Structure 1
Amino acid sequence: MLQPLPSILSTGNPERSGDNEKHYLHNLLTDGVTTPVDSDVDAYELELPPWYDDAKFKKAQRYFKRNFFAMFVAKMCGLLVILAIPSILDVLVYTKQSSTAVTAYRRYVATIMHVLNWYYEDLVPDSPSWKSIAYVRRAHISTSKRSNSKLAGRIISQKDMAVTQFGFVGYIVLGYKKLGIAYRTEDMEAIVHFWRVIGYMIGIQDRYNLCTDRLSTTEQRMTQIQEQVLRPALVARKETFEEMGNALIDGLWCFNPFLDYDAFLFLTSRLTDVPGYHYWKEEHPSPGCETIYTKFTRYSRFVLYFLLLVHETLLNFIAFRWYFNSQMVLSRFLITYFPFLAIFKFGVRDAYVRILK
């Protein structure tokens, strides 16, 4: 039986809100598994939620730009961790759109472009951001229908959507210290509101939405997902996880050539508190306890050390934060207009990825 975490709330009715959080994971893993994201592409009209706060939404966009590099790495780890969820992995394997380096490149670069649209564009009807969300929602419905007919009832469920939502924001909220994300409560509340809005607009029902109207309850929901869904899945990951994970990293190497599968799997597992994925001496559960990274190649160990150095030390300094953020801005420009690494690796035809065309 699932043992939800206790609720610790700072505002509102503690007893009532706490009861809701106790039942969140249970509802997600029961009703949420059988509830599809949407049943009909024409059965909804895209609209802002009634609780939308434009000031908070734009604050979140500014917050992302100030932490572009750190939040990008958080999302990379998020994309990797959700591959450990069998229901999500099976659908991705079925679609055959991310099982090789080139298909993974095209799929995940498109995903990055959609998300950056949300962070950079105003969320108003007919804007690139609005059209992007509408496209993603239609794509989920179409994929869910096809997998439902071909994979014996396997759908894209509300549970899958909430877990995927964690992939984009969960590590930002729970792992900001390890990632070097500059923290202020009001900024983190804004990023939670941002993803609550995005979740609502892509079809996540409020009762399954990982993000709530409070940072405290959002943290509780995310902690439950991390501890009782993602961590066990990473420990018992399927063989196809390795194939899909390697394809993801190999494909996105063209976006950032400083990517390594072993290093990013370690970083992801460490953010998820998976046993054995500790690095610094003070993290070791007992003296002399062996850690996974000792078995890595020299290059993987170097990439891992460099990532930890950047996130836990260098990003504390404004100059380094500006430098690494600027590198991400440059990477976005190059992957859009001159993806020379992808041209070299995959050829011109596959190198250029366009969305909303």
Structure 2
Amino acid sequence: MDDQRFFEEAAAANGDRGLETQKAFPLPKWVDPEKIKAGQKFIRDHFFSVIFAHFISLIFLLCYSPVRRVLVRTHKSETSEKAVKRYLSTLVHIKLWYEQDLLHREGEAAQDVFRIRRVHSRVSRYIEKRCPMKSTVSEAGKCGFAEASHVITQLDMIVTQFGFMGFVTLFPSKFGIFTEDPTGLEGFIHLWALIGHLLGIEDRFNLGLEINFPRNRAILEKILLPELKVGNKDSLELCQSLVNGMANIVPFLSFNSVLIF
């Protein structure tokens, strides 16, 4: 399937599958526990690099209009204090997924993923009540969802999935990751295939199920970079709030240096 059709089909598919967690287990046959272990070891070996890549990717995600619209509507990221609190909360979840059991329904990490799915579902319902997807274009436009088929689509899910795995896989050396053994990076991608599955990404869209660098690059170049270049006012404020807030924790950070990077 070519990239354009892939993106169109993903954009038309509902990404809010929060009430279907029972379908996540038993796990699909493609899940490889050894690759999951290799991916988790890769993260342990390159933890700072992976987390910094996540931070940079978040700048792109804050400019991605579906993510921006949700954040603006929920009023939880517009100040430095709120942005840092939200980012650190996300980091706690991600660290748990990277270190604990995702392979069993009762595992701590798997249960935490399901909690995030329920949050996604609550946010989706909250926004849809105030801005029904089937409302008129003028009504939906006031909420910023005039062209959306769902509050959260499968495209939104895979763009976010790319944010967490794409920068590490496309630009490992830029984040200080140098390894000649592909096992770790392949395991990292497979780990995100599993996380994506648990979060509700359909197999046909799951970026981690194949090592498709051209498609990952297409997400960056055709979706994220154009949004970043637009320079939306809300996106700029969200990004500045995040970087300025994190600068209180990591002093060498500045908004300009992050953009230059």
Whether 1:228 and 2:222 are equivalent positions in the alignment is yes
Name which of structure 1's ranges 42-51 and 173-182 shifts more when overlaid on structure 2. Answer: 42-51
Measured in 2, the distance between the counterparts of 1:42 and 1:175 equals 34
Normalized per residue, which structure has more helix? 2
5+ residue gaps, structure 2:
134-144, 146-150
TM (norm. structure 1) is 0.64
Name which of structure 1's ranges 43-52 and 226-235 shifts more when overlaid on structure 2. Answer: 43-52
Moved over 4 A (4+): none
| Structure 1 residue 223: Cα displacement | 0.9
Spell out, residue by residue over 1:307-340, the C-alpha distance to the aligned partner (whole angstroms, 9 max, x if none).
Answer: xxxxxxxxxxxxxxxxxxxxxxxxxxxxxxxxxx
Measured in 2, the distance between the counterparts of 1:80 and 1:151 equals 26
Alpha-carbon spacing, 1:110–1:25, altered in 2? closer, same or farther (3 Å):
farther
Spell out, residue by residue over 1:55-103, the C-alpha distance to the aligned partner (whole angstroms, 9 max, x if none).
Answer: 1001111101111111111000111111111121111100111111121
1:147 counterpart (117, 121, 127): 127
Measured in 2, the distance between the counterparts of 1:263 and 1:98 equals 21
Measured in 1, the distance between the counterparts of 2:18 and 2:164 equals 25
Give the aligned length: 242
Instruction: State the structure with more CA Rg.
Output: 1
Counterpart secondary structure, 1:51: coil
Whether 1:46 and 2:28 are equivalent positions in the alignment is no
Measured in 1, the distance between the counterparts of 2:258 and 2:214 equals 25
Preserved CA contact (<8 Å) 2:18 2:120:
no
Report what 2:201 is aligned to. Answer: 204
Counterpart secondary structure, 2:24: coil
Preserved CA contact (<8 Å) 1:193 1:212:
yes
Preserved CA contact (<8 Å) 1:25 1:224:
no
What amino acid is aligned across from residue 67 of structure 1 in structure 2?
H
Mapping for residues 110-259 of structure 1, pairs under 5 Å: 110-123=89-102, 124-153=104-133, 154=145, 155-183=151-179, 184-213=181-210, 215=211, 217=212, 219-259=213-253
Report what 1:61 is aligned to. Answer: 40
5+ residue gaps, structure 1:
1-19, 268-357
Give the RMSD, CA atoms, in angstroms.
Answer: 1.8
Measured in 1, the distance between the counterparts of 2:20 and 2:184 equals 35
| Structure 1 residue 37: Cα displacement | 1.3
Preserved CA contact (<8 Å) 2:162 2:216:
yes
Measured in 2, the distance between the counterparts of 1:49 and 1:142 equals 26
The answer to which structure, 1 or 2, has the higher relative contact order (CA under 8 A, 6+ apart) is 2
